[in-house]
Structure 1
Amino acid sequence: MKALTRLFAAIVLLATAPMAFAQDTLRWGYNSAPFPPWTNKSPAGEWYGFDIDIMNALCREMKATCEIVPVAWDGIIPALQANKIDIIWSGMSMTAEREKVVDFTDRYRRGPAAFIAPKALKVEVSAAGLKDKIVAVTKATNFQRYLESYYGNTAKIKLYDTLDDATADLVAGRNDVVMGDILQLTIFMKNVPGQPYEIKGITPVDPILGRGAGAGVRKGDTVLRDRMNVALAAIRKSGEYQAIAKKYFEHDPYGE
């Protein structure tokens, strides 16, 4: 009888073992639009960038196999909920609104947003200063929500699929100001001949913009969330995170 009891307990344990540990492969959901330097795609179709390198480091730490699943940004949370991916890993800002439907790990990067414009353009980042200015922003992002919340009544907000599209139109003179990730915009400005653009303003800490970017997992999946948190702490402690960051940035994207 005792042997049967032990056998039954073992079967129950195996049946209820956390899925995250049982999986050979973790499906990492990425914004299908490249977002350099966080993510980019080679002509051969291979993904690379800061987020890719950090993902690979985490998978090595967790002894898991990584599979990248490109998803349109506005459908990435539904993809997680529909079990098409296991992890949202594409710089998703952790906000109170998103935390209602997604559980987040500890942050893995954080940085403010910046407003850039031509140096010759005198513009102040305020409701009055952006009045009638065409302000470009990537759609379906917290940056869009921030702009609409604070400057929607005065600025002419223009939505883009990617930040590259927004900055291309800035160069072409089809918008006046671009709002986006400060690290990405800094890299853009350095790569423009003559460096004719500058930062006109930086966003303060704001609930709309969240508390940094974390990995999103399905609500209640504490096993995978905690497993990733342990791995994140490990690559920070070992210095691997910092070594990867130095390949792409002058400053640590982890933030204060």
Structure 2
Amino acid sequence: MISTPKLSFLVLLLSVICHSFPTFADEDVHLDSIRKAGKIKVAIGSAPPYSMVSPTGEATGASIDLLNRALKGMGLPALSPVLLAWDALIPGLQAQQFDFVGAAVNITAEQCKVVLYSTPYYAGQAGLFVLPGNPKHLTTVAEVARRPDIKIATLPSLTTYQGNALKQGVKPEQIIVVPDVQAGAAAVIGGRVDAFVVGQFTIPDPQQKGLEVVVDEQSPVYASGTVFRKEDKAFRDEFNKQLNSLIKGGAIQELYQKYGIANAEAQAKLLTKLNKASDVVPSCE
């Protein structure tokens, strides 16, 4: 006969074991909870005309429409936006403040160690945004390294365009780091730099803003996608099925036309070659 203290210990042990198995047996637990709640909170960053939030709290933009179509295909409601600064997106996700990050976040090996990425829905090579006519005749970032008189502006991230410029031999004193796209464009127009180096599609219709874009055909292809927690792999995989179908079905061209974004065909051509994050960064899941 088992004594009461031993029996209590066995009951407790079995209880812990039994409650551990559902984590492995039911990987869709988060997705199921969203369906039951009828609401999905998604973090986004401000990047008009791709994603923006109106004063009334409504999310709009080409990327927002794309995400909502994918969610609808999964039987989920339209996203409820949580507008955050770009550097707060990943920390907020890990703190369980929302269900996933809907902003197009750069896919990097460093971040793939801690989060999961969706299929890329934005991709591009480095673009040198210069004054009309390209007065300094710039063609590649590598060329900037050979011309110490040239100055460029980049965004803060060392994992994409700024990092690539440094690897190409561009000196730190040739680089002015700006906080956002608007500041980068203003630096060129104001004559502080000769080029703003960022994704080739980052500034829609640059001619309307007094700029011209020169695509660096030698640069790597960088891509961005939505971001999920590591434990939400089943959720990410279901989302990817819908996203891949939409991209291959022409949604990018349709939405870019709707929002007046140029270069839809070039963007779509790049994206059709990318089915998952590891197509861009092999170490990503």
**TM bucket by the smaller chain?**
0.7 to 0.9
SS of match in other structure, 1:215? strand
Do structure 1's residue 199 and structure 2's residue 217 form an aligned pair? no
Structure 2 gaps of 5+ residues are 1-17, 274-285
Q: Is residue 74–residue 238 contact of structure 2 (8 Å, CA) maintained in 1?
A: yes
Give the drift of 1:41.
Answer: 4.3
List, as ranges, runs of 4+ consecutive aligned residues in structure 1 with deviation greater than 6 Å: 12-15
**CA deviation string 1:108-135 (max 9, x = no partner):** 2212120122222244532434524331
User: Corresponding residue for 1:230?
Assistant: 241
SS of match in other structure, 2:70? helix
**Counterpart AA for 2:111:** R
Identify which of 102, 107, 112 aligns with 2:125: 112
**Counterpart AA for 1:53:** D
Give the drift of 1:226.
Answer: 1.0
Q: Is residue 135–residue 155 contact of structure 1 (8 Å, CA) maintained in 2?
A: no
User: Corresponding residue for 1:5?
Assistant: none
Cα gap change, 1:52 to 1:96, in 2 (>3 Å): same
More strand by share: 1
Q: Distance in 1 between matches of 2:75 and 2:262?
A: 27
Alignment of 1:7-26 (within 5 A): 16=26, 18-23=29-34, 24-26=38-40
Q: Is residue 102–residue 218 contact of structure 1 (8 Å, CA) maintained in 2?
A: yes
* TM-score, scaled to structure 2: 0.71
SS of match in other structure, 1:90? strand
RMSD value, Cα = 2.9
User: Corresponding residue for 2:75?
Assistant: 63
Do structure 1's residue 161 and structure 2's residue 179 form an aligned pair? yes
Alignment of 1:236-255 (within 5 A): 236=247, 238-247=249-258, 248-252=261-265, 253-254=267-268, 255=270
Identity, % of aligned positions:
23
Identify which of 78, 98, 108 aligns with 1:95: 108
Give the drift of 1:39.
Answer: 2.0
Q: Distance in 2 between matches of 1:28 and 1:150?
A: 36
Cα gap change, 1:74 to 1:20, in 2 (>3 Å): same
Q: Distance in 1 between matches of 2:148 and 2:66?
A: 40
Q: Distance in 2 between matches of 1:123 and 1:233?
A: 36
Structure 1 gaps of 5+ residues are 1-8
Identify which of 62, 66, 74 aligns with 1:50: 62
Identify which of 126, 134, 137 aligns with 2:154: 137
The size of the alignment, in residue pairs, is: 237
